[in-house]
A and B are shown apart, each in its own frame.
Chain A
Amino acid sequence: MQQTRFGYSWLCALVRLALPAALAWAAAGPAAAAPPPFEDSIAQRAMACTACHGPQGRAAPDGYYPRLAGKPAGYLYNQLLNFRDGRRHYGLMTQLIEPLSDAYLMEIATYFSQLEVPYPAPLPATAAPEVLRHGRQLVLEGDAARQLPACVQCHGEAMTGVAPGIPGLLGLPRDYLNAQLGAWKAGQRRAHAPDCMKEVVSRLTLEDINAVASWAAAQPLPASTKPATSLPAAKPGAITITCGSAQAPAATAAAPAKAQK
């Protein structure tokens, strides 16, 4: 009897403690963790973004919605304005941010820029060795004969971008890089004038684009993935380019997004 009672209460305790947890887990779905409680924070406000861009803006698994975490604030802010003002095209994105103010968009951009979230390991390259070699050459050296600057000249020697306005190139899927460079070439993606990327991409062939995307997407990430704070020293004979950027909104304490060089 005693034993039975003990057994019963043990079972009871198990049911009381474990069953609700199991039910909660089942309800939340196997992949999702328990939802965080509501808090009056910018993270809470950015949940409309992370629904597509992944938790903390770590990118969606499909590779279509890019990573936001850790990208320079000025770059993210520029992209928000580009979507709003028709220099980039994705209806869902434009519609979502349309009723927001410049200051609020800057706050959202700054929030994501400050998130330090580990990157997933890059997928191994599938392109032919000569394609990868060509990509590597363009990214690291450029092609002076075609007035093509090296990608690293602006995007940083470690390719992790340069604050406040230049994004990193690592941790992006090949398809995304291909799509973006292709969109630039087709005039579907634009930036503030002077649109330096338009200039650069206009000198790239589709083969160049594929080579650059294939090589960059397969690169391992450096120990620090933070954007550099200043541009690398210009190499002798480097092609100079000027890039446009939005003025940071007045009503923000965030670092101003000065014009990129």
Chain B
Amino acid sequence: MNKLLKFVLALVVLAAGAGALVWALNVRDEIDVNTPVAAAAPGASLAERGAYLARAGNCQACHTAQGGQAYAGGRGIATPFGTVVTSNLTPDDKTGIGSWSSAHFWRAMHNGRSKDGRLLYPAFPYTSYTQVTREDSDALYAYLRSLPPVAAPNQPHALRFPYQSQAALAVWRALFFSPGVYEADASRSAEWNRGAYLVKGLGHCAACHTARNALGGSEQGLDLAGGLIPMQNWYAPSLASPYEAGVSDWDNQHIVSLLKKGVSPRASVTGPMAEVVQRSTQYLSDADLGAMATFLKELPPSQATAPEPAAIKTQGESVERAAKLYEQHCAQCHGAKGEGIANAYPALAGNRAVTMGQAANLVQIVLNGGYAPATQGNPRPFGMPPFVLVLNDTDMALVLTHVRQSWGNRASEITPLEVNRIRASTASAAR
């Protein structure tokens, strides 16, 4: 044999080996969907439990198109790799999951594989849902089967090359996904374990609160140390850092209040998290929210150190202009000293959402305004008006810098460029 042939042969063997490895990694922990299982009797109580779990997983939010029928899919999820369109989860035979067995459903939740064997895109957060137990998966299945069937054919995804290929997805999964049900930590309380199960599993908090790499994978595991939400220009703050949204020094009941009502004495939610509270966490039992709070309080503190206090300009034309803008546009609600108004408008002094190193949310809130979610516990929230048409980039940067550097706040300056970047991205997303 000549050398070239040997080389080619070696390459073929290597490729086959790598392919086999990727394949093996992709079928880890999969069941044979054709093996009959003694199904739990699909009674009303199972479906009822499933309805609760579907809230915990916020399934409806993604699997419902804007103004469309609940769970009939069709919502486009924009990702850096293209748009993934959610599927019809109603029990329609032809277009939904009417022909799926509970084993097919389990394989989708646990292994990220569709009924027809296709690998699913991780915009469906099976990287988290894989931690859900078979029992809970079956309850969800029973609930979805109890919905009225809607005939709504699934729409094709619009992903760019090479992301649209199953081979590329298989490689991604080999790198960033490993299936496995949540394993309880025997050294921790049952409550802590329940909280961990909900946060890591159905709650899929890591989908936003854990940073993703350039390929959309999470390298750091489930550290919940904060990340920019792809395409949305909102920052999901670290749940482990005392300088962002860590809650280690919060009262348990304040954490529960934030997730139940959307407001608490320590903070309120807006933006993407308002949707999560409105559609998901407000419906969870106090016991489950308390468990999540216990888990979140005890997250290992991140390595984050306090941000360097910024050098603050105290004089000059721009400083005076910033103070005047604040007085004109902000002070009426947030107070002359950034003290806010209890139960209505958040204080800006000492507010971590104001002083966080990542200022995307602050810019978003002032540009586009926003309400805290209307919940059972806070049905008539107060709102922030949009300033996108009132303040130009320069003035907005001035006033944001002012609130980040007044009343004891010592955060870095916001530049007009930063404001402009987010203004441009939200203007295009809003169309």
Contacts and interface: CB of A to CB of B under 8 A. Distances in A.
Contact of A85 (B67, B328, B429, B431): B67
Nearest to B276: A99
B382 interface: yes
Interface string B365-383: 0001111111000011111
A38 interface: yes
Given A38-B341, A52-B386, A107-B380, A100 B374 contact: yes
Contacts of B274: 98-99
A235 B383 CA distance: 46
B37 interface: no
A104 interface: yes
Contacts of B387: 51
Chain A at the B interface: SS class: helix
A186 interface: no
Contacts of A95: 368, 370, 430
A32 to B, nearest CB: 8
Contacts of B373: 99-100
A48 B332 contact: no
Interface in A68-102: 84-87, 89-92, 94-101
A236 interface: no
A107 to B, nearest CB: 7
A100 B388 contact: no
B340 to A, nearest CB: 10
B355 interface: no
Contacts of A100: 371, 373-374, 381
A130 interface: no
B379 A92 contact: no
Interface string A92-130: 101111111101100100000000000000000000000
B221 interface: no
B429 A52 contact: no
B380 A91 contact: no
A15 B328 CA distance: 23
A87 B68 CA distance: 11
B390 interface: yes
Nearest to A50: B385
Interface on chain B toward A: helix, strand, loop, or mixed SS?
loop
B341 A51 contact: no
Interface stretch (A39-47, A137-145, A159-167, A177-185): A39-47
Interface in B59-84: 65-67
Contacts of B385: 47-52
Contact of A44 (B67, B344, B368, B429): B344
Contacts of B67: 84-87
Contacts of A28: 328
A51 B382 CA distance: 14
Nearest to A87: B67
A91 B429 contact: yes
A92 B66 contact: no
B275 A98 contact: yes
Contacts of B328: 27-29, 32
Nearest to A34: B332
Query: Which of A35, A48, A94, A97 has the most chain B CB within a 10 Å cutoff?
Result: A48
B429 A99 contact: no
B344 A91 contact: no
A51 B368 contact: no
Interface string B319-339: 000001001100011000000
Contacts of A49: 385
Contact of A35 (B332, B384, B389, B426): B332
A99 B386 CA distance: 15
Contacts of A86: 65-67
B374 A104 contact: yes
A91 B327 contact: no
Contacts of A50: 385
Contacts of A29: 328
Most-contacted residue by chain B among A86, A95, A103 (CB, 10 A): A95
Contacts of B270: 99
A44 B341 CA distance: 12
B66 A96 contact: no
A155 to B, nearest CB: 25
B258 to A, nearest CB: 14
A49 B426 CA distance: 19
A103 B379 contact: yes
A51 B390 contact: yes
B278 interface: yes
Contacts of A44: 344, 382
21 contacts: A27-B324, A29-B328, A38-B333, A38-B341, A38-B344, A44-B382, A45-B380, A45-B381, A48-B370, A48-B384, A51-B385, A52-B386, A52-B389, A91-B427, A99-B262, A99-B270, A99-B278, A99-B371, A100-B381, A103-B374, A104-B380
Interface of B: 65-67, 262, 270, 274-275, 278, 324, 327-328, 332-333, 341, 344, 368-374, 379-390, 426-427, 429-431
Interface of A: 27-29, 32, 35, 38, 40, 42, 44-45, 47-52, 84-87, 89-92, 94-101, 103-104, 107
7 nearest CB pairs, A to B:
A91-B430, A85-B67, A51-B385, A48-B383, A86-B66, A99-B373, A101-B374
Given A45-B383, A48-B384, 19 more contacts: A44-B344, A48-B385, A51-B387, A84-B66, A84-B67, A86-B65, A86-B67, A90-B430, A91-B430, A94-B430, A95-B430, A96-B371, A96-B386, A97-B371, A99-B275, A99-B372, A99-B381, A104-B374, A104-B379
